[in-house]
Amino acid sequence: MKMAWNAYGKERVKLVRVERRGETHEITDLSVCIQLEGDFTAAHAAGDNTNITATDTMKNTVYALAGAGTGEIEEFAARLVSHFLRINPAVTKATVDIWESPWTRISVGGKPHGSAFVRAGSDKRTTEVTGTREATIVRAGIDDLVVLKSSHSGFEGFRNDIFTTLEETSDRIFATAIQANWLYARAGVAYGALWQGVRRTILETFAEHDSRSVQHTMYAMGDAVLASFDDVSEIHFSLPNKHHIPVDLGPFGLRNNNEIFLPTVEPYGLIEATFRR
């Protein structure tokens, strides 16, 4: 038997950092995952842990490195990647994923409070940084951006086979929870501003697009992002189709003018693609 591939690490290291500037605080709310690949054959085959950095040590490292501030999550992930490659010569590849949860200031008498926050929106900002001794790759992303459009969305002209019962429609609800991640052409770009820009471009394209399918709008969103941001060289989307089924009110003597929908949890469509410059 040979080991074809192996990796190990720590998932969901939770960290909240408070930065205090007098009465004005900033909070950073992260969930960090670390995976290391390398020469760990002795640990597997012989129970020899000499090359193993304990996953508990990985957790400690997150807190220790956060002590000096995290910066943008892409930067913090890159620092962690570098650290693990440097601290353990057996490591050939390190991957760090970070999810950041958004908070906004509570408004008191119309003014944002300095140190009280409320969770904003459903979406998370994400990053995945992968490093070897030769190169580092930085991806950024967004997760669980829940959107719905109630016009300019149809699904027509699809294949008809013996098991097809779905009717064509030129007016359906299109609802999804956008998961996207994109590759930066180089490290050290303006991560924060770019993330805001890509998020806005995705949302605006979703809103404005005359959609003939999930694929059609996904492609348009990819096209818009790659056209607008030179620093993005590739973008991947994963879009669940959160079906909204018009309810038949006929049995009750009523008409449903595309107004009353049953949103369903399962089954759901799943549409994915990677677009590249």
Element (H, E) at 234: strand 232-241
Nearer CB in complex with a second copy: 60/190: 60
Q: Is 121 in the site for a second copy (CB under 8 A)?
A: yes
Surface-to-core class of residue 246, CB atoms within 10 Å of its CB (0-12 exposed, 13-18 middle, 19+ buried): middle
Instruction: Verify whether residue 53 is a known catalytic residue.
Output: no
Read off the amino acid at residue 44. Answer: H
Task: Considering the complex, state which of residue 155 and residue 191 has its C-beta at the smaller distance from a second copy.
Answer: 155
DSSP for residue 140: E
Tell the smallest beta-carbon distance from residue 232 to a second copy (Å). Answer: 11
- For residues 50-79, which are near a second copy according to CB under 8 A? 50-57, 59-61, 63-64, 66-67
Spatial distance between the Cα atoms of 120 and 34, rounded to a whole number of angstroms: 26
**Segment 135-174, which members bind a second copy (CB under 8 A)?**
145-152, 155-159, 161-166, 173
CA distance 222 to 205: 9
Is 50 noted as a catalytic residue in this protein?
no
Using rule CB under 8 A, residue 93 touches a second copy: no
* Minimum CB–partner distance for residue 188 and a second copy (Å): 24
| 93 neighbors 137 (Cβ within 8 angstroms) | no
- Per rule CB under 8 A, is residue 230 in the interface with a second copy? no
CA dihedral over 178, 183, 185, 187, signed as positive or negative: positive
273 lies in the binding site for a second copy (CB under 8 A): yes
Interface residue with a second copy, options 169, 196, 228, 264 (CB under 8 A): 264
